[in-house]
Structure 1
Amino acid sequence: MSGLQSGTSHSKSQISFFPVSGDPLATHHLIYFVTGNPGLIGYYDTFLGTLHELLTATDGTSSKTSVFHIHGQSLAGFEEDNSSTKQPVRTTPYSLEDQIEISLKSLQDLRIPSGPREGQLHDSVILIGHSVGSYILLELMQRLRKRDSPLQIKASILLFPTVTHIAKSPSGTKISTLFRIPDFPKKASTIAQGLLWLAPRTIVKWLIKIIARMPDDSAGVTLRFLKSPMGIWQALHLAQDEMETITEDRWDHDIWGIEHEEVDSKVDIPKLIFYFGENDHWVANHTRDALIAARGNPDHGSNSSKPIMLIDKNGVDHGFCIRHSESIAEKVKVWIDGIVSGL
């Protein structure tokens, strides 16, 4: 991708990479990333930065220039800085439905930022979601299709997805018990903030690194999350909403695809790639296996538009962004190359 200059726009609440191309014939791809919960984009700095470096090292095609724009932002309510979402300061947490609609508006507002095609829509959009971000991603796809959006959603990559029956997972079962306590998210947040207010930031960060075994950068993001005005309340409120909302499979064939496509079919179904954890504490093995059996493309055949569903065999945790950002970015880069080469 010679001749490209790389632009970046980073803040506490968003990460954007936007290579600048002077080629009016270049193909512009937008990679839009949706976080998990807690929804701080800072956790994914290494992942998105590595993916950006891999994609700009080679465009994966030989016939035309591909320009990859990457954008991700914190979910609403997790950051003091609301500049990326342009949302007013709230005193109550956001629901899962709020997060979906805010992400939808953000995605629809994005345009090619500079060059001969400044202000135009990207030629294709590839969505990437982690954990509950994968659920949000599927909702974005369905709502854009129903609203006849001009956005060209070509594929979605779902990392350690929690898209059905999250309350049946090992961690979901435990936290659902706590949610039986009336107003538990607010009460727990108030107690936690009172304890954290007494502790110096340096001590809290040291405890995070020791107890959670987090590297320094992730511990810093976690410290900011714990010390933020609404972070703990927002995370717990959203988790409770997830337990109540993420239950049965709710999407139709426009999302899941069909087993055998007709040669002259005009239905443009985006490609879906699911990457599950082998023993994910937020995804019960039996609900994962049932989803794969019902919705997956069993032999990855090209005549099927059903999703490719893979299970990690490398021991990567659900929170891959803490210790496995580089290896997952390498996998995602390979998938993106395959997606782009098929456009």
Structure 2
Amino acid sequence: MSSLRPENSQNPAEVSFHPDSEEPSATHHLIYFITGNPGLISYYNTFFQTLHELLTSSPTSSSDIFHIHGQSLAGFEDAASEPCRTTPYSLEDQISLSLSTLQSLYIPSGPKKSQPYTSIILIGHSVGSYILLELINRLRKSSSPLTIRAGILLFPTVTHIAQSPSGVKISTLFKIPDFPRRASFLARNLVSLVPRNWLKWLVGVVTKMPNDAAEVTTRFLRSRMGIWQALHMARDEMEQITEDKWDEDIWGAEHEDIDHKYRVPKLIFYFGENDHWVADHTRDALIDARGRGDEETKSSKPIMLIDENGVDHGFCIRHSESIAEKVKVWIEGIMLE
């Protein structure tokens, strides 16, 4: 029998669900989540809570224990650990920091305390999906002992983000010298003129966000460096997320070689139907080049799906429950392989 042991409940920059289990034979699996931009983990609270409840009620939950960990990307929170930071973090910084955190996580309690997880399932949203692929790539090249079993990429921006509808617009703004810093300075000055409660109300009215998402957005807008961090990182995304940069050790092959010493993690891509951060033609080109065909039953290539339910790119605002249900089904399928 496992029960939730809440952790970091007072830390908005981190979310951890660690079910306690005293079963020596239980296997512990880590679900490691990487956010999109803006990288505040609190946007995903409903998603995490729903996914945790679904997994703990699963028929396999007695033998497979699923731990969930996610944290805000660096620079988005007014954290005490970053009091002297005066410049934003790059996309490369975020990859390195995410990798460092992943390598530091061990089973926190029970008979297997301090041991590594049996397997790890990575989940990335938006640019978090790009970071996810880079984590797999770097762990492979370093011959890491970590076992990455699968990656789930939600509304992924992994190639040619500047060609997307929103990418085209923001790339034009980045032609203005020092745009991220200048725009954030102006925005922060304007936000400082508005009382916090009024700002939250205004965010809710303008964006039509539910109350919890409006609260997170208000905290982001009033943070010391959040806006600058988001724009600085977005510029990096436009410049770096271009051509497909990974090989078959990431993408897999049409016919899986069971004797190959490196097992390619299973990848599941879930694209939006009309995603303003992913151009349809670049999405379709990636699916044609890298996706698994219906006939490729023994293929190690990714499963690539397109949403048909009208879910927005920022699924965590209004569609957390439905996406958590899909992720739960995918995880159960992964565990059966």
**In the TM superposition, what are the counterparts of 1:107-256 in structure 2 within 5 Å?**
107-256=102-251
Gaps of 5+ in 2: none
CA drift at 1:60: 3.6
**Equivalent AA in structure 2 for residue 203 of structure 1:** W
Correspondence for 2:294: 299
Correspondence for 1:20: 20
TM-score by length of 1: 0.96
Question: Secondary structure, in 3 states, of the residue corresponding to 2:20?
Answer: coil
**Equivalent AA in structure 1 for residue 306 of structure 2:** I
Closer/same/farther in 2, CA of residues 246 and 82 from structure 1, 3 Å limit: farther
Cα distance in 2 for residues equivalent to 1:90 and 1:28: 36
Correspondence for 1:29: 29
**Equivalent AA in structure 2 for residue 26 of structure 1:** A
CA drift at 1:59: 4.5
Cα distance in 2 for residues equivalent to 1:201 and 1:263: 58
* 1:59/1:66 contact within 8 Å kept: no
* 1:300/1:308 contact within 8 Å kept: no
* 2:14/2:72 contact within 8 Å kept: yes
* 2:271/2:304 contact within 8 Å kept: yes
- In angstroms, what is the RMSD of aligned CA positions? 1.2
Aligned residues: 335
Correspondence for 2:69: 71
Question: Secondary structure, in 3 states, of the residue corresponding to 1:29?
Answer: strand
TM-score by length of 2: 0.97
Q: Which of 234-243 and 293-302 deviates more?
A: 293-302
1:326 aligned to 2:321? Answer: yes
Question: Secondary structure, in 3 states, of the residue corresponding to 1:278?
Answer: coil
Closer/same/farther in 2, CA of residues 39 and 300 from structure 1, 3 Å limit: farther
**Equivalent AA in structure 2 for residue 50 of structure 1:** T
Question: Secondary structure, in 3 states, of the residue corresponding to 2:153?
Answer: strand
Correspondence for 1:42: 42
Cα distance in 1 for residues equivalent to 2:6 and 2:132: 24
Query: Equivalent pairs: percent with the same residue?
Result: 67
Correspondence for 1:315: 310
* 1:54/1:333 contact within 8 Å kept: yes
Question: Secondary structure, in 3 states, of the residue corresponding to 2:205?
Answer: helix
CA drift at 1:267: 2.9
**Equivalent AA in structure 1 for residue 52 of structure 2:** H
Give CA-to-partner distance per residue, 1:6-58, whole Å, 9 cap, x none: 11223210000000111111110000000000000000000011000000011
Gaps of 5+ in 1: none
* 1:166/1:242 contact within 8 Å kept: yes
**Equivalent AA in structure 1 for residue 141 of structure 2:** K
CA drift at 1:90: 1.0
Correspondence for 1:80: 78
Cα distance in 2 for residues equivalent to 1:232 and 1:262: 46
